[in-house]
Chains A and B, each alone.
Chain A
């Protein structure tokens, strides 16, 4: 954190921030407790935030509990990143009208959505967004719908002060401190937030709140919070999420571990659904009942389905071993060659939301021979 900067937003003025966003024309989204998990939804009032909640995560396990802290962001992450806000789970990409003599008129589809502001974005979520930007925006072809939402998105990041058992963003090189792609970044303290800005629009919004400067003690407390989230992490991704994973994985395509993990994997695709970077989608038509038009849809797809690799009467990945290997070799291996980054941001969601608790860091440890446990000096204190 830049020591010269830093304002203080008391907890009881969080509502003013939401009001300022609304005033600026944004629909505000924020984390809320829904059906036993923390998810992003429309946020009208600061009291809808998950005050006093923290989750316990373990492989195949997620459980919310109340803690004795009146804080809104004392948790690590929920099942969603912000991916569904930009890359919609399902959307119409164009419509075709069929007129007289079968004439086809193609009409682009833009939903004219209100610009979104999202509060409570984690470092891993931002890293995931940056990865998807490389797929849909800074690629040879641009997805105009994604780009429009992305340009409009107002990002209010909140640095983590807590890490779950499945978090490994430190080794993935993505967190827990948010360093880019934000308009405003906050660090939660006992009674409010340290606030910094990362864009002009972020700055003008914060200026309208007329906050006081944070004092040295508050800045120090913010630093300690982030350090805590670093020290709490016990899990790591082998080879530090580097390009070396490509070499190791692609020279181990017949490693016995693939068969072994395939015996546990249900091929359900939960990992893909919760992953902030998975971008596969399928396209299909939804013709209207009157036969005069058809909506061309796209919907999230998963490399764990049979249909994903279907090709003129043949399924390329006809068993789970081939599908899991495709997912993992792509995610942390071939992704480097495609997008000059790993496809893994260290959020741990695929580990938590896997019904059988398959842990990709453990699978990588088995194949690379490098541990997925953070080495600790004996004198190092952990929380």
Chain B
């Protein structure tokens, strides 16, 4: 009976907790039912519903590599009712997890192409999975350009990753902070401006992005100006999610349920409704 009930979480244990910034942390999780852990699979861009006992559920994207079948990672910003409470948990604590939900990034389609990743703020969490995926399978993809925008230099998470990625052949990382402190080695300014100065050619290029919608809107304007096509641009969208399976209705964006039709959409799918207030 339980296998059939898509609403019911499975117990998972926190095996590691990494504090990324004052409010951002990563949980490394493992299902306590080893058979379930074994059959749990996902691709970058998918998400899980994490449940905290007595508090509730929250949708969080998976950032670890799908090839690791022993554990899976979630990077979370303590900002809402559930995430603030999850932030209090320690290694060994149990939570509920169900998933993986959503469609994932178009990684098959991107094989052999240049990949441009653009993200803003903690929005980088869903794309970190895809960057890692590509860097671990570097020969399958062309040139990789990563643009990461943040509000303030001290909001920078995954510093070491960005530095490491920048060392990988045929890979370029551009990080821009709207405001920065002394000692900041990346650039200062808006990510859109960094994009405008960058060399970016639409030919054989696929763009994957994530972040605040206003930022994505400006980025898309710039990409279209450079003759990128609507179906070359992919976005990860976010809305209120409660069930994760297309039943509760909260995540609707016009005809889409973000939880099951997304969260990744091509701009061609969304352009009629993207950035229209109220959708």
User: Which residues of A come within 8 Å of B, CB atoms?
Assistant: 93-94, 96, 98, 102-106, 108, 110, 135-136, 139-144, 246, 250, 253, 279-285, 287, 291, 294, 296, 298, 301, 303, 308-313, 316-317, 321-323, 325-326, 329-330, 334, 337-338
Contact = CB atoms under 8 A, between A and B. Distances in A.
Interface of B: 1-2, 4-11, 51, 53-57, 79-80, 93-96, 238-240, 242-243, 245-250, 252, 254-255, 257, 260, 272-273, 276-279
Contact of A104 (B94, B239, B246, B249): B94
A139 B247 CA distance: 9
A360 B53 CA distance: 42
Contacts of A303: 249
Contact of A94 (B8, B11, B94, B247): B8
Nearest to B77: A312
A330 B54 CA distance: 33
B46 to A, nearest CB: 14
Nearest to B242: A283
20 contacts: A93-B8, A94-B7, A98-B53, A102-B94, A105-B11, A106-B2, A106-B9, A108-B8, A135-B246, A136-B247, A139-B247, A141-B260, A144-B4, A279-B249, A281-B247, A281-B248, A283-B243, A312-B80, A316-B240, A334-B254
A142 B56 CA distance: 21
A310 B79 CA distance: 13
Contacts of A140: 245-246, 260
A287 B55 CA distance: 8
Contacts, number: 133
B260 to A, nearest CB: 6
Given A281-B248, A296-B51, 12 more contacts: A94-B7, A102-B53, A143-B247, A144-B1, A250-B272, A279-B249, A280-B249, A280-B250, A285-B54, A309-B239, A316-B239, A334-B255
A271 to B, nearest CB: 15
A325 B277 CA distance: 11
A326 B279 contact: yes
Given A94-B5, A143-B247, A104 B11 contact: yes
A24 B28 CA distance: 53
Contacts of A103: 11, 94
Contact of B246 (A141, A253, A311): A141
B249 A301 contact: yes
Contacts of B95: 104
B239 A311 contact: yes
B248 A283 contact: yes
Q: Tell which of B5, B94, B272, B276 has the most Cβ of chain A within 10 Å.
A: B5
A272 B7 CA distance: 23
Given A103-B94, A104-B94, A106-B96, A301 B246 contact: no
A140 B246 CA distance: 8
Main secondary structure of the interface of B (DSSP, over half): loop
Contact of B5 (A144, A287, A298): A144
A282 B250 contact: yes
Nearest to B272: A250
Nearest to B95: A104
Given A104-B96, A312-B79, A281 B249 contact: yes
Given A102-B94, A282-B248, A338-B255, A322 B278 contact: yes
A2 B10 CA distance: 51
B248 A338 contact: no
Contacts of B247: 135-136, 139, 141, 143, 279, 281
Nearest to A321: B278
Contacts of A313: 79-80
Contacts of B93: 102
A311 B240 contact: yes
A289 to B, nearest CB: 11
B1 A139 contact: no
B250 A301 contact: yes
B2 A108 contact: yes
Nearest to A334: B255
B55 to A, nearest CB: 6
Q: Please give me the 6 A-B residue pairs with the lowest Cβ-Cβ distance, nearest first.
A: A322-B278, A280-B249, A337-B255, A287-B54, A141-B245, A334-B255
A283 B58 CA distance: 11
Contacts of A309: 239-240, 250
